[in-house]
Chains A and B, each alone.
Chain A
Amino acid sequence: SQQGEEDPQALSIQEGENATMNCSYKTSINNLQWYRQNSGRGLVHLILIRSNEREKHSGRLRVTLDTSKKSSSLLITASRAADTASYFCATDRDNTGFQKLVFGTGTRLLVSP
């Protein structure tokens, strides 16, 4: 079963607008990661936020983590058509020292020129 659930399932915006995607999860985690997948391609890592961090930035990406609510959000600012892809959150909740990343269901983002 999926650990994370992304919301919304699909998002359609215009270039230049901001896109916000949310992820909720069920159990305690070591870290949470966001990945991007272009249609039919391999996933690409975007950003990792540890359980003791609340916010992290990378370029046009901003990720927040609220462990009390078991949720995270990914904000893409000033979106571009090239940002069109599916975005997945993944949680690392293994306590044996080796991570077992469990992916959410993904948000399909469409950015129109």
Chain B
Amino acid sequence: DSGVTQTPKHLITATGQRVTLRCSPRSGDLSVYWYQQSLDQGLQFLIQYYNGEERAKGNILERFSAQQFPDLHSELNLSSLELGDSALYFCASSGGAHGELFFGEGSRLTVL
């Protein structure tokens, strides 16, 4: 158990809909990262937050947004969903500026 909790584990929705994925980092970790893993694109870095502030941005679509709340949990909002958004979405946390990431078990999103 990594200590990182992601909900929901599975989500099935239709094109055009909006979903919210939630992540609770390990106790004490200030950094939260979001990654998307799909078969054709591999593991893609989306965005990173540190203590509530956005720190790094990767290949995150404009239809996607994220935030980190004062209690350090984070949410990833995906809107106007397309078939190609079907993927595993991982949240990870870390304690320091550099070092290992602790991954949650992911949220599997299926867009029909």
Contact = CB atoms under 8 A, between A and B. Distances in A.
Interface of A: 2, 30-31, 33, 35, 40-45, 48, 88, 92, 94, 96-106
B42 A44 contact: no
Residue of A41, A88, A92, A98 with highest tally of chain B CB at under 10 A: A98
Interface of B: 2, 4, 31, 33, 35, 42-43, 45, 48, 50, 55-56, 58, 88, 90, 92, 94, 97-106, 108
Interface of B is mostly: strand
B43 A88 contact: yes
A6 to B, nearest CB: 10
A35 B35 CA distance: 14
A33 B35 CA distance: 16
A41 B100 contact: no
Given A31-B98, A88-B43, 16 more contacts: A35-B103, A41-B105, A41-B106, A42-B90, A43-B90, A43-B92, A45-B100, A92-B98, A98-B97, A99-B99, A101-B45, A103-B35, A103-B43, A103-B45, A105-B42, A106-B42
Contacts, number: 64
A76 to B, nearest CB: 18
10 contacts: A2-B42, A42-B103, A43-B43, A43-B103, A92-B98, A98-B97, A99-B94, A100-B48, A104-B42, A105-B42
A42 B93 CA distance: 12
A3 to B, nearest CB: 9
B96 to A, nearest CB: 9
A98 B33 CA distance: 11
Contacts of B102: 45
Contacts of A98: 31, 48, 50, 55-56, 97
